[in-house]
A and B are shown apart, each in its own frame.
Chain A
Amino acid sequence: MAKGGIVAGCLAPHPPHLVYAENPEQNEPVSEGGWEQLRWGYERLRESLKDVDYDVIVILSPHWQTYVGTHFIGVEKCSSKSVDPVFPNLFRFNYDLTIDVELAKAIHDQAKSEGMSVKMMTNPDFRVDYGTIVSCHMVRPEWDKPIVSISSNRSLSYYSVEVMQEMMIELGKSTAKAIEESGKKCLLIASNSLSHRHFVTETNPPEDMSKEHITSHAMHLWDMRMIEMMREGKSQQIINEMPEFCEQAIAETDGGALTWLLSAMGVPSEPAILHGYGTIIGTGNAIMEWPCRNWGA
């Protein structure tokens, strides 16, 4: 069996506003559009991946928050309605997706063998978190690829960013090893924004773009710094500066997804492609792609 591999790693933020603005048939609310800068960014990402052959999407979302280790969905067919508890006016999405349980279990087992606390989620009533659904929909709206859904272990809440990163680096290595042994070609998604200070009011309509901007100059500076490091291939420096970034930008990277992604890709020194940047209710969001498929062995 040929070795599996990662064809690309993506930073793919999940604000439900993006799906709301796209008006897919699965989502109940209807919008006039909005957040075009980011939606066009996703369009460029999809174009970049159009001819890339891959078998499965592996995604880590901060909106399946687990405090007792890292969990993996172990139910093959997941079908229900996902309603965002924070923005239910924007996101009520009827989903029907397939889980690659075999690969999920392989990553689970590999992480377990490395001493990590992990658990398979086999309850058929479980609802897939909206972060996973939004990111997957924006990257691959055809929903024709199975996914592996990984929870966000909130080790930062219990310990520190440093401990969170140690765990996510190990989980990333386990993910890469399991993928390699599976023989599958995988697209990896870290589903999170960058700076994450929300506005606490909502415009009417929510897609009124005249009110959209970053919450503060400091958040903007941090976002640009992180993007520049990604564009310059400074993955190790991103990891090094992650504690300050999480604290000062209230960054959603505290959920571990970006660190996990960088680790799974081997902490690359190759540059990432910026497909788009924009704000959503004040938070900073970048759509980035690391085209691992072009890097050679």
Chain B
Amino acid sequence: MSGEIVKSLIVPAHPHPVLCPEKNEGWQRVRDAYDDARRQIEESDADLIIVYSTLWPSVIGHQIQADPNPEWVMVDADFHDLGSIHYSLRIDTEFAEAWNQANINRGLESRTVSYHGFPVDVGSVVALELLNPDNRIPAVICSTNVYSNRAETTVLAKACMDVVKAQGKKAVAVSVMSLSNRMFTEPIEPHEDRIHSLKDDEWNRKILEFLSEGRLEDVGQLSRTIHDQIRVKKVVAFKPMWWLSAMNDNRNDLTGEVLAYEPIHGAGAAVVVLNPESNGTGDKEYDEDDVDFYGGDRNVLDSDKDAEPKQPINSGPALYDPVEGANAVNTSKAPKPVGAYPHARREGDLIYLSGVGPRQPGDNSIPGGPIKDSNGNPLNYDIKAQTRAVVDNIARILEEAGSSLDKVIDVTSFLVDMDRDFSGYNEVWAETLGKVGPTRTTLAIRALPTPIAVEMKVIAKA
């Protein structure tokens, strides 16, 4: 099963395109762009709409809507005079619950909400009302944590993608947000609307230039600067771009199209569609940490030092110090063995590695998450993250032996779920060892000693 993001959208949150597009030509163009985006979704094979709304703040981690059918009447706090929006949404509760669990697996604080009368935020209501008016496609909605910064937001997206892939979804990712969000502080007539300042307009156009070129990751890199320059500080940081970028594997070569850019009460309202097809230009330029697991920077002042660690405890056998001896090669940069053996052994011109998994040296954590919890309940995990971690561990052991990845000559790989994981494993292989060209054998096995999905046995030249 292989899921993916088939389309990504940036859409504005204000209610004007729903309630009164006819009052201003620009608002009507935003409405028309919304309609265009809706048609594009309908023509795709999308089976899920994932909404990340900056209009739903949360404090206790992230919250995910899990009521199968939230219904109410929404009235905007500022623009209540424009009217009411009766909403009745269709939520993919199975996905919502799985995303919540995937968040927890990756170290995030997270919970679902399912309560009659819960006030779905204006941004989510507007976006789903216009993109999915008949609820043809189920949706899922996630809050914006007011304190979260880049690492937490990136991991949130990766956890979401764990589930997209595990469930084989064809998903549309939607960031509901303004560009510049400074509104006029007094009522205006519709015909008076314009972007609040020339500076805001210039920044908005620069952002849209990047997006039209598919440079989503570049916009993500600029998030802090954008936030400082054109954002009223309602929440910490301009995070929807971090989320959307991570949902797209932090790519910079998407195909982008700006369907509309107009002012709504002074704020920058844009409808942008990003398609996964490569525009043929630009490689990824990713120079910030590509964090997979949220270790947390919270509760540093909490007096409860006995609290259980947030990271899932990886059940499994006791760990050993690697066995020393003639020709043995061991390193503290690789995870401890689960038995009495060395990390590697040199024999003549060859180096034989013991089976290498994705566990991390030091904290024994598993990038991409463990495949099951301590009670044996299956968890969603990211096979690509696990496979990358395996290759990284191999590289560290070879480096200790004075060798390197490009000297690997034979690999035997073990997967615990061939049907689910072969594709992702193969993709990472192609990006790494596949470029070296060792012989390879891949086997499906029932289990490994620790809750991991992949292990490799390697022979390399010294």
* Per-residue contact bits, chain A 58-78, to B (CB 8 Å; 1 contact, 0 not): 000000111111010000000
**Contact between B60 and A200 (Cβ–Cβ < 8 Å)?**
yes
Once bound together, how far apart are the Cα atoms of A199 and B303, in whole Å?
12
**Contact between B117 and A92 (Cβ–Cβ < 8 Å)?**
yes
**Contact between A67 and B301 (Cβ–Cβ < 8 Å)?**
no
- The answer to the question of A123 belonging to the interface, with a C-beta cut-off of 8 Å to chain B, is yes
Instruction: Kindly specify which of B77-85, B250-258, B454-462 makes contact with the partner chain.
Output: B77-85
Give the A-B pair count, Cβ closer than 8 A. 105
Closest B residue, CB atoms, query A152: B77
**Contact between A83 and B115 (Cβ–Cβ < 8 Å)?**
yes
Closest A residue, CB atoms, query B310: A201
Once bound together, how far apart are the Cα atoms of A144 and B185, in whole Å?
35
Chain B min CB distance to A251 (Å): 15
**Contact between B59 and A81 (Cβ–Cβ < 8 Å)?**
no
Once bound together, how far apart are the Cα atoms of A211 and B83, in whole Å?
44
Closest B residue, CB atoms, query A73: B80
Chain B 183-238 residues near chain A, CB threshold 8 A: 183-187, 232-234
Binding site secondary structure of chain A: loop
Chain A min CB distance to B63 (Å): 8
Which chain B residues lie closer than 8 Å to A293 at the CB level?
Answer: none
Once bound together, how far apart are the Cα atoms of A293 and B382, in whole Å?
66
**Contact between B234 and A64 (Cβ–Cβ < 8 Å)?**
no
**Contact between A199 and B302 (Cβ–Cβ < 8 Å)?**
yes
Q: How large is the interface on B (under 10, 10 to 19, 20 to 34, 35 or more residues)?
A: 35 or more
Contact of B118 among A69, A85, A157, A211 (CB under 8 A): A85
Contact of B75 among A83, A87, A92, A127 (CB under 8 A): A127
**Contact between B145 and A200 (Cβ–Cβ < 8 Å)?**
yes
Closest A residue, CB atoms, query B74: A125
Binding site secondary structure of chain B: loop
Which chain B residues lie closer than 8 Å to A198 at the CB level?
Answer: 59, 147
- The answer to the question of A47 belonging to the interface, with a C-beta cut-off of 8 Å to chain B, is no
Q: A68-B186, A85-B121, A125-B75 are in contact. Are A157 and B234 (CB under 8 A)?
A: yes
Which chain A residues lie closer than 8 Å to B59 at the CB level?
Answer: 86, 198, 200, 281
Which chain B residues lie closer than 8 Å to A295 at the CB level?
Answer: none
Contact of A64 among B57, B77, B232, B301 (CB under 8 A): B77
Once bound together, how far apart are the Cα atoms of A117 and B187, in whole Å?
8
Q: A69-B187, A83-B117 are in contact. Are A123 and B299 (CB under 8 A)?
A: no
Chain A min CB distance to B229 (Å): 15
**Contact between A86 and B115 (Cβ–Cβ < 8 Å)?**
no
- The answer to the question of A191 belonging to the interface, with a C-beta cut-off of 8 Å to chain B, is no
**Contact between A200 and B84 (Cβ–Cβ < 8 Å)?**
no
Closest A residue, CB atoms, query B234: A157
Which chain A residues lie closer than 8 Å to B304 at the CB level?
Answer: 211
- The answer to the question of B58 belonging to the interface, with a C-beta cut-off of 8 Å to chain A, is yes
Once bound together, how far apart are the Cα atoms of A126 and B75, in whole Å?
6
**Contact between A127 and B119 (Cβ–Cβ < 8 Å)?**
yes
Which chain B residues lie closer than 8 Å to A157 at the CB level?
Answer: 232-234
**Contact between B185 and A201 (Cβ–Cβ < 8 Å)?**
no
Once bound together, how far apart are the Cα atoms of A256 and B182, in whole Å?
19
Which chain B residues lie closer than 8 Å to A202 at the CB level?
Answer: 60
Once bound together, how far apart are the Cα atoms of A158 and B186, in whole Å?
12
Q: A86-B57, A200-B147, A202-B60 are in contact. Are A123 and B118 (CB under 8 A)?
A: no
Residue among A71, A85, A87, A216 with most chain B CB within 10 A? A85
Q: List 24 A-B contacts (CB under 8 A).
A: A67-B232, A68-B183, A68-B184, A68-B187, A68-B265, A69-B185, A83-B118, A85-B58, A85-B118, A85-B121, A88-B113, A88-B118, A92-B115, A92-B116, A117-B187, A121-B80, A123-B80, A123-B83, A125-B75, A158-B182, A198-B59, A199-B302, A201-B61, A201-B109
Query: Which B residues form the contact surface with A (CB < 8 A)?
Result: 56-61, 73, 75, 77-81, 83-84, 109, 113, 115-119, 121, 143, 145, 147, 182-187, 232-234, 265, 298-299, 301-304
